[in-house]
Amino acid sequence: MMKRESKRQTVAEEPDSIRLDLFLKQSRLIPRRTLAQQVCQHGGIRVNGQPAKPGRSIKTGDLIEWIQPRKRVQVRVLGIGVSSPIKSEASALFEFI
């Protein structure tokens, strides 16, 4: 019998994109992923001026606009985390415009 070689990555690389709903949760702009998915599905989130679904890929430099009944929040993506960052590091993933 031949052994299968494992294809594990030994170096943790920063991803170049992430799903929109995961980014909204990781950045703590929206507290839960299911809520982020619902907001996207109802047309409340735009990425670079276009309506976005929860599975849309987000990259560094993208402009995310969250339209709420009484206000509009615009942020620019500064970075993408590998996993859920701690609260103090979550705000470093974006900047308010």
> Could you state, in order of their start, the residue ranges of all structural domains in the chain?
18-96
- The residue type found at 74 is Q
Calpha distance 83→14 (Å, rounded): 10
Q: Which residues pair with 72 in a beta bridge?
A: 67
Task: Please say if the pLDDT value at position 11 is more than 60.
Answer: no
Task: Please say if the pLDDT value at position 8 is more than 90.
Answer: no
**Residue 87 CB partners (closer than 8 Å, separation 6+):** 28
In this structure, which topology does domain 18-96 adopt according to CATH?
3.10.290
The arithmetic mean of pLDDT across residues 13-21, rounded, is 84
**What does the pLDDT look like over 19-72, one tens digit per residue?**
999 999 999 999 999 999 999 999 999 999 999 999 999 999 999 999 988 999
